[in-house]
């Protein structure tokens, strides 16, 4: 049993059980089975003095209000169910949901900056837009890029955050979270756990203080909802709620409803897709058209591989697999990071982070493995849609993940 521990007073329940019950424990007593969807933007009260006191309380503490939330930018009962469930799955005290993963990261950065801690230490690669947000200093923060071994030395008195993705987008590089948390000392380590999900990895148990998700991906799981969420201790959650109230990056209640529903099948989806991904990795690793395969030690449904040929032809050649950015849906998606997800990162930074121009990233879905392999293998052999560039092998050092070297085809 993959048991989760919430302290001695509570019998630990398995992750699969939490996934379908967390955030819903009161439903039977309410006479309900499906969680209620509360779309209210405002909440009536005939007692303005009491409302003033509750607003003061929220403004000073950031604690969730008892009773109706006054206004939907403070809180929402449907979203709160998703937050409660995600916090439980991550083994964190609290979670705060946002309109997207980028809104969630923005709130974390603003929360730390508002405490006078504007410096961030970050490990590349990160998702392209996270990289851009930090590198461009759009929020008035300053970033020092380093590898995991350099984190301790990069920390300054004004460092508010150390940030890593593990497995990282798109190279699937993994960090030793426990060692990294140790290097951070008193500075909170933020782990973007979007690729692993709490099914494969719970960073809080390894010393991370902040866990971030693009909920748009596996948590929603069906490619039809955008959201972001931060799991952390209640003290930081209070600051995040105050930032969310003031800046407005709230998650829509319908998105909260869909994300809560998504969580209930998260373990089943992630495990099934991971089994298929591992089999595709096994086949790609011995395919003569593939220069290198990246797959994390912890497994998962994300794979990346470098082709000897033209990656754009593979994107143009798929028929069952959808050529699209994003990930974590029930259907398989493939994209070319240098063109799409990491386009916004400067070319030199992208390459030195291991994002080769020949790298393709695939989010494996729930289709049958043989159908996926048939489509992938025909796309890898697809006739070129554009004149072939000189097809030198990528030769990018294995900066990431667990590269599986494939034998080079003879004559190239």
The residue ranges that bind ligand PLP (CB under 6 A) are 100-102, 127, 129-130, 165, 169, 192, 194, 214, 216, 226, 228
Nearer to ligand PLP, 98 or 257 (CB): 98
Nearer to ligand PLP, 141 or 194 (CB): 194
Nearer to ligand PLP, 356 or 363 (CB): 363
CB of 34 to ligand PLP, least distance (A): 25
Hey, how many other C-beta atoms are within 10 angstroms of the C-beta on 280? 21
Residue with the CB atom nearest ligand PLP in the bound state? 101
Query: What six digits make up the tokens of 317?
Result: 């050649």
Q: Give the Cα separation of 119 and 112 in Å (integer).
A: 9
Describe the crossing of helices 101-113 and 128-135 by its angle, rounded to 10 degrees.
Answer: 30
Q: Give the Cα separation of 177 and 51 in Å (integer).
A: 43
Hey, how many other C-beta atoms are within 10 angstroms of the C-beta on 302? 28
Nearer to ligand PLP, 195 or 305 (CB): 195
CB of 202 to ligand PLP, least distance (A): 17
Q: Give the Cα separation of 299 and 36 in Å (integer).
A: 35
Detail the DSSP E strand segments found in 250-349. 290-294, 302-307, 322-323, 333-335
Under a CB-based contact definition with an 8 Å cutoff, are residues 315 and 334 in contact? yes
Enzyme catalytic residues: 73, 127, 192, 217
Q: Give the Cα separation of 76 and 42 in Å (integer).
A: 10
Closest CA to 393 of 378, 411, 408, 377: 408
Nearer to ligand PLP, 69 or 220 (CB): 220
Query: What six digits make up the tokens of 156?
Result: 């300054």
CB of 228 to ligand PLP, least distance (A): 5
CB of 214 to ligand PLP, least distance (A): 3
CB of 39 to ligand PLP, least distance (A): 22
């Amino acid at each position: 049993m993959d048991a989760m521990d919430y302290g001695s007073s509570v019998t630990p329940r398995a992750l699969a059980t939490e996934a379908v019950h967390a955030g819903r424990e009161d439903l039977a007593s309410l006479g309900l089975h499906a969680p209620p969807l509360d779309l209210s933007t405002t909440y009536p009260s005939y007692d303005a003095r009491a409302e003033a006191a509750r607003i003061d309380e929220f403004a000073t503490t950031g604690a969730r209000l008892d009773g109706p939330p006054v206004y939907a930018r403070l809180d929402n009962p449907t979203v709160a169910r998703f937050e409660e469930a995600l916090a439980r799955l991550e083994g964190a005290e609290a979670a705060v949901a946002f309109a997207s993963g980028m809104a969630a990261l923005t709130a974390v950065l603003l929360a730390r900056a508002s405490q006078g801690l504007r410096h961030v230490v970050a490990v590349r690669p990160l998702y392209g837009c996270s990289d851009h947000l930090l590198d461009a200093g759009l929020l008035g923060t300053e970033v020092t890029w380093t590898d995991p071994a350099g984190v301790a030395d990069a920390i300054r008195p004004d460092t508010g955050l150390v940030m890593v993705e593990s497995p990282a987008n798109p190279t699937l590089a993994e960090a030793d979270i426990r060692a990294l948390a140790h290097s951070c000392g008193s500075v909170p380590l933020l782990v973007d756990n979007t690729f692993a999900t709490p099914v494969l990895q719970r960073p809080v148990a390894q010393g991370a203080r902040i866990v971030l998700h693009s909920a748009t991906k596996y948590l929603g799981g069906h490619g039809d909802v955008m959201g972001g969420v931060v799991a952390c201790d209640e003290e930081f959650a209070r600051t995040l709620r105050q930032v969310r109230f003031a800046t407005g990056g709230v998650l829509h209640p319908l998105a909260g409803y869909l994300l809560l529903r998504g969580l209930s099948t998260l373990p089943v989806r992630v495990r099934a897709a991971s089994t298929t991904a591992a089999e595709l990795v096994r086949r790609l690793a011995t395919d003569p058209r593939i220069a290198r395969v990246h797959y994390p030690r912890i497994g998962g449904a994300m794979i990346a591989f470098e082709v000897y040929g033209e990656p754009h032809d593979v994107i143009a050649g798929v028929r069952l697999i959808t050529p699209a950015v994003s990930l974590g849906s029930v259907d398989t998606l493939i994209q070319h990071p240098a063109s799409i997800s990491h386009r916004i990162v400067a070319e030199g930074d992208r390459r030195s982070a291991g994002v080769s121009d020949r790298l393709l990233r695939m989010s494996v879905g729930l289709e049958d493995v043989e159908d996926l392999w048939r489509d992938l293998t025909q796309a890898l052999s697809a006739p070129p849609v554009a004149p072939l560039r000189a097809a030198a092998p990528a030769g990018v050092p294995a900066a990431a993940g667990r590269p599986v070297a494939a034998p080079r085809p003879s004559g190239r």
